[in-house]
Amino acid sequence: MANQRMENMSETYIEETAEAASTVANRLGINRREFLQFCAATATTLGLPTGAEAAIAKAVEKAKRPSVIWLHFQECTGCSESLLRAEHPTLEKLILDVISLDYHETLMAAAGHQAEAARKAAMKAHKGKYVLVVEGAIPVKDNGIYCKVGGHKAIDMVKECAADAAAVIAIGSCASWGGMPSTEPNPTGASSVGDVLGKPVVTIPGCPPNPYNFLATVVHFLTFGSLPAVDQLGRPKFAYGRIIHEHCERRAHFDAGRFALEFGDEGHRKGYCLYKLGCKGPETYANCSTIGFGDAGESNWPVGCGHPCIGCTEKGVGFTKPIHQTAVLRGMSPPASYPGIVEQQGKASFAAAAALAAIAGTAAGGAAMLAKNLGKQDAEQQPRQKGE
């Protein structure tokens, strides 16, 4: 009876999942297989157990699309540009079928007073339920006068919008910890969203961050009604739980002592480890090497393209340490003077051996004279010490 009940539950589960998948797939304009692949990939990215893709499919089908208010401050719009290149789903499907993007200065058709009216209307209609996404650092020096939108200072806008938000997400390094605008001497006092609000927020650092890290965070909120587990810096653990060095495709070369020493040298052309060229992967937490950007392949990230990681997801590393400076290794310390792949072998000539012997003899004689003189000094000092 128990087995029969389990079989019936399993059949019901499969039917419900298939029905939900078909409904959403038709709405998104993709086939059911592609939608289920999206749900499975999102579940895997989030580190969820087997079967979670069904919950995601149901949530996307039945849950009300969350209202999203997206603010722009001190940034280059690279985070939004990265999102524009997302493929699973594409941006228009994300906006129209997964979330309701009610305010985004770059993507919305409205401008000026109409745009500000749309923001106010969305905040009022979805009070306590909307998701606030902040892109860019917030200047606080001189009372925040260095960034204004629609006549309102950035520091005032973010506080106003965060007051009634169900969740606050800082996307990109600038919003997460100040990023490039906060580099010394930081004339505007560029600060993170968390510092300005004085409370923890979910941070998705990166310059730009991978759009799927943002998408997976939103889908988790949509599916479970809560944001994913985060580390002490507010970063989702599913994306920032391990250092890049641990799952880098060049890790085997690091362990074997095979390093590129100059850009364009033989080691660099052969894909050797970039540690000695300043790669910050050993001290940077992110999943860049495991999730490709923009559906262009797994090599579409700095190290995969032959450039050292600059540590853009890590405060105190990205935009702070020089690119050529070697990283602080976490949990491992290889010698700084690794031998080359093929060491040159040579033979010492008779003259060179004689010269070496002479140098050694001179050094030994000098050491003997030093010991002798030290003995004399000790003998001279002893009577004085006794007289005292």
d(CA 17, CA 53): 9
Of 259, 275, 257, the closest CA to residue 267 belongs to 259
What is residue 68's predicted lDDT score, i.e. its pLDDT? Answer: 87
Cβ atoms of 190 and 138 within 8 Å: the answer is yes
Q: How many helices (H) and strands (E) does the chain have?
A: 14, 9
Angle in degrees, CA 240, 75, 141, rounded to 5: 105
What tokens does 146 get? 């260095």
Q: Element (H or E) spanning 174, and its range? A: helix 173-177
- Match domain 242-341 to its CATH number in 1.10.10.350, 4.10.480.10, 3.30.540.10, 3.20.20.70: 4.10.480.10
Cβ atoms of 100 and 116 within 8 Å: the answer is no
Query: Which amino acid would we find at residue 97?
Result: D
Q: Where are the domains of the chain?
A: 1-58, 63-240, 242-341
φ, ψ of residue 300 to 5 degrees: the values are -85, 60
Cβ atoms of 80 and 73 within 8 Å: the answer is no
Question: pLDDT 10s digit of each residue in the chain, 388 long?
Answer: 434 443 443 444 445 555 555 555 555 555 666 666 666 766 666 556 566 666 666 655 555 677 889 999 999 998 888 887 776 666 666 655 667 788 888 888 778 888 888 889 999 999 998 999 999 999 999 999 999 988 899 999 999 999 999 999 999 999 999 999 999 999 999 999 999 999 889 999 999 998 888 888 887 887 777 888 999 999 999 899 999 998 898 999 998 889 999 999 999 999 999 999 999 999 999 998 888 776 665 667 889 889 999 999 999 999 999 988 998 887 665 555 555 555 555 555 555 555 555 555 655 555 555 455 555 544 554 444 444 4
What is residue 161's predicted lDDT score, i.e. its pLDDT? Answer: 94
Q: Element (H or E) spanning 88, and its range? A: none
What is residue 52's predicted lDDT score, i.e. its pLDDT? Answer: 60
29, β-bridge pairs: none
Query: What homologous superfamily is domain 63-240 in, according to CATH?
Result: NADH:ubiquinone oxidoreductase-like, 20kDa subunit (3.40.50.700)
What is residue 211's predicted lDDT score, i.e. its pLDDT? Answer: 84
What is residue 6's predicted lDDT score, i.e. its pLDDT? Answer: 38
What is residue 368's predicted lDDT score, i.e. its pLDDT? Answer: 56
Q: Element (H or E) spanning 374, and its range? A: helix 350-387
**Residue 343, number of CB atoms within 10 A of its CB:** 7
What is residue 136's predicted lDDT score, i.e. its pLDDT? Answer: 94
d(CA 228, CA 220): 6
